[in-house]
Structure 1
Amino acid sequence: MLSDREAISLQMQSTLDEATDPWGVKVERVEVKDVRLPVQLQRAMAAEAEAAREARAKVIAAEGEQKASRALKE
């Protein structure tokens, strides 16, 4: 929802147009401005980001150990 607000706004506009056209009402603009995520979803997103950072750190550490091992071998 956060990354696709424009498409959601267009879809909402289309749905509103279908519902209001029979009454002669035209909705000129629809915008999704503020999205409030549930606390549980915020925590899940934070945990996912933390896991991704930890995974990158492990890869970097492993690459460093591999380079150090090669350097000692030489």
Structure 2
Amino acid sequence: MAHLGNMLGKTEFHLFLFCLFFLFFNWPLLTLLEGTRPASGFLYLYAVWSLLVVLLAVIARQVRPASPAGPVTDTTRK
């Protein structure tokens, strides 16, 4: 699992994911859905979009810098 964590922070992996999801939402793959029911097209778009959001959240959580002081607390309010 540590190897996956190292890979998530690499710029090359981000570029690969960009190209992969660009193809998922591009014309050639979307035309494959023309002969199917409309519900399957919506399901495809929802599944791909959800996967993209989850991957972006995992990458953002992995790449963010660790705070050495711990959580930030607001002490200015009284």
- TM-score bin (small chain): 0.3 to 0.5
TM-score computed with the length of structure 1 as normaliser: 0.39
What TM-score results when the alignment is normalised by the length of structure 2? 0.37
Q: Which has the higher contact order (CA 8 A, sep 6+)?
A: 2
